[in-house]
Structure 1
Amino acid sequence: MGLTRGRSVLLAVVCAVAVSAVYAAQPVLAQIGGDLGVPDAELGWIVTAGQFGYLVGLALLVPLGDMADRRRLIAWHLVLAAAGTGLAAAAGRTWLLLAGLAVAGLFAVVVQTAVAYAAALSAPEERGRTLGTVTSGVVVGILGARVVAGALAAAWGWRSVYAVLTALLAVLAPLVIVLLPPDPRTDRGSYRQTLTSVGQLFRERRFVSRGLIAFFLFASFGTLWSGLALPLGSAPWSLSPAQIGLFGFVGLAGALGAARAGRWADAGSAGAVTGGALVLLAASWSAISQAPRSLWLAGAGIVLLDFAVQAVHVSNQHLLTTAYPYRTSSVIGGYMIFYSLGSALGATATTTAYAGTGWTGSSILGAAFAACAFLVWAADRRQAARPHPPVCRT
């Protein structure tokens, strides 16, 4: 039993493919809209459908990891996510596409079960490094999906994106059963007890503050990646979906560069890393705002933004799984509810802002979200530094 290098890589691949089901639509939104007749101002709802399903899954499905064999749970969720992407691939109407993406998003929360499983199998002194490895799969999925989706859509249309995802998800399910160890836990509570424990987390300062940071962090992230295709696909660039997808490589370089954040967290620097990365996140938007005028500046800003997002995300998960070692699935699921809400907000708000004020409006929005995350971090640091009143004992 344990998490070997090969098993860590398999979990990272599971995360990459599963999360792609939620984000693959972003570089091909214009193509989907043209095929199904969806107006530009409503394209954000295509991404939001997957995010909504993901949100529901975080609340209702991820806590199952604290009461079930997580290996089998991961396999079943992969199969059901494949059913959702299969429906999306065959959809001839907008509502069928949205339903398929919602189902795919619902079971794409296998990502969080995989992350919690990895944290539980890791030695405490290596937990940050392990989380950095496994969550790098999430980053590869979120950003790499744009590259692959853009290329597939250019060659065979947007439906091919979801057909390929369906095949990959279906292949991974049996591999998980064969190659991962059974869950060794025997102290598993009931579903009701598990959901109650999740609700209790929302009354604890450490959890709520890290959750709010994640909310604004991923609202800023979603503002970029749900809206970037709009200025890049317009004059003066008029890039194709495949060319827009290549910007995923740019973001991937920055995000993977932050893999060391796990080691920094193991060394006790998670709090400082969070603050510094949030400052970098806000600053990155000054370069990203230049996308209609300079692709080089926009690319540099994207590298900085994705580095900052991954550094904060790994640090957050390290702090929470260390603080709640016996409820890793519940705490990761609860934390990611903030993530999902923030991503959905960014996806819908950026298309609305772009329709009204162009990419400048979207950039101001993204920077504002980053500033809010920093303010939450600073307030939490002040609160934690305050001396606690002595407890009177009689």
Structure 2
Amino acid sequence: MNADRSTYSSNSSNLPVLSRSLLLILAVSCGLSVANLYYNQPLLADMAQTFHLSAAQIGSISMLTQLGYALGLFLFVPLGDIKEKKSLIVILLGAVTLSLLFVASSNNLTMLGAASFAVGTTTVVPQIIVPLAAQLAAPNQQGRIVGIVMSGLFFGILLARTISGIIGSIWGWRTMFYIAACLMLVLALMLWGVLPKTGSNSRLSYGQTLKSLGGYITQLPLLREASLMGGLLFGTFSVFWTTLAFFIKQPPYYYGTEIAGLFGLIGVAGASFAPIAGRLADKKGPRIVVGIAAAVTLLAYCIFWFLGQQLWGLILGVILLDLGIQSAQISNQARVYALIPEAKSRLNTIYMVSYFIGGSFGSFLGMHAWSLWQWKGVCLSGSLLILASLITWGIGRKNNINKNNINKDN
């Protein structure tokens, strides 16, 4: 890893200035592109009806999308450290455009699953944009800048469900993916015109870049802790959102697809906290913010468990869930990026691959818990994942305290 450092030289003085307008474009681009991963969640019940499938069978679509995303993160995001990011972003946006068109035209479960996996694999642009924003930011503002860009990403995640729910209820689920393909094409053309060229000073080959990931995992305990926590917390996020459309179709709600999507708007209250979480991470330390965020997420699931049959309880739980997940995500990424500034893309790869493997597991766990034990099973599954994340945080905090005490003694 030390040898890897020598392959870089600082070029911060040669980087373009991160203006407010460029920061806004990066945030909006993150939101528009990440939305591709979540359009299917409120539409799963309609897809199941189209292909005459059970809840457990159609749940594989959400899982495959997230597994594809994890693979795309591993294959493509490390290129951000060794290739010019602007061209990489535009090429990937072109690829996801084609993948979305295949989803829209799918006529059986196999084709839908393969196309959804391809959408996930090619929807990795946000995880190239976030390290780009951190690269362009001043060192003492990285938490704030990441928070702003991530707020755009979170708004995209939440509004994707709202938009797809409404469009799906009016024109059918296929229309949503045709619209998404058009949006990605327009976004590719826009970013080609406005993104700066940052270049790369790395002399590593692609194979060496991938190989270096293993070194970071074994040598950076904080990276392991943050990645495991991120995966567990995003898993609990997926447990809820993958099953929500099925839950509210039943008594006492009897809501349709459009209402399932509207719950995404409720989560905007949590997403609006994202920049504040970034500033708190800069001032108080990201580890503290992560622990508090995980506790807030556990509180959300307690509310789902005991008050989920009441609309106000479900709404409050959604707000707290998104608040906790998003705050933890921003704080985790801030401390990961600070480990080795010149390897942000590779560190982000390790973190986000873990994050979406956890998310895909959460989708799988949530749909099977729903099929077997309905809502109580969903709440139990999500709560257990959060408890595992809190145990991980506690172990990491204890090890950090012990390490600091040893350093003081020496």
TM-score by length of 1: 0.96
Cα distance in 2 for residues equivalent to 1:136 and 1:13 = 9
Q: Runs of 4 or more off by more than 3 Å in structure 1?
A: 387-390
Query: 2:148–2:274: 8 Å Cα contact kept in structure 1?
Result: no
Alignment of 1:1-394 (within 5 A): 1-203=16-218, 204-290=220-306, 293-387=309-403
Q: Secondary structure at the match of 2:204?
A: coil
Query: 2:134–2:145: 8 Å Cα contact kept in structure 1?
Result: yes
Q: Provide, for residues 112-167 of structure 1, a one-character-per-residue CA deviation record: whole Å limited to 9, x for no partner.
A: 01111111111111111110111112211211111000010011000011011100
Deviation, structure 1 residue 189: 2.1
The residue type paired with residue 54 of structure 1 is Y
Q: Provide, for residues 219-256 of structure 1, a one-character-per-residue CA deviation record: whole Å limited to 9, x for no partner.
A: 11111111111111112211111111110011121122
The residue type paired with residue 29 of structure 1 is L
Deviation, structure 1 residue 269: 2.1
The residue type paired with residue 73 of structure 2 is L
Cα distance in 2 for residues equivalent to 1:69 and 1:52 = 26
Cα distance in 2 for residues equivalent to 1:289 and 1:252 = 22
Q: Provide, for residues 186-207 of structure 1, a one-character-per-residue CA deviation record: whole Å limited to 9, x for no partner.
A: 3342101211111112112111
Cα distance in 2 for residues equivalent to 1:7 and 1:68 = 20
Deviation, structure 1 residue 13: 1.9
Unaligned runs of 5+ in 1: none
Q: CA RMSD in A?
A: 1.6
Cα distance in 1 for residues equivalent to 2:133 and 2:45 = 37
Unaligned runs of 5+ in 2: 1-15
Deviation, structure 1 residue 259: 2.4
Q: Secondary structure at the match of 2:186?
A: helix
Cα distance in 2 for residues equivalent to 1:236 and 1:291 = 12
Q: Secondary structure at the match of 1:68?
A: coil
Cα distance in 2 for residues equivalent to 1:77 and 1:291 = 42
Paired-residue identity, %: 31
The residue type paired with residue 74 of structure 1 is I
Cα distance in 2 for residues equivalent to 1:26 and 1:382 = 38
Query: 1:66–1:189: 8 Å Cα contact kept in structure 2?
Result: no
Cα distance in 1 for residues equivalent to 2:29 and 2:114 = 22
Deviation, structure 1 residue 64: 0.7
Cα distance in 2 for residues equivalent to 1:264 and 1:185 = 31
Q: Secondary structure at the match of 1:326?
A: helix
TM-score by length of 2: 0.93
The residue type paired with residue 212 of structure 2 is S
Bigger CA drift: 365-374 or 288-297?
288-297
Count how many residue pairs are aligned between Structure 1 and Structure 2.
Answer: 392
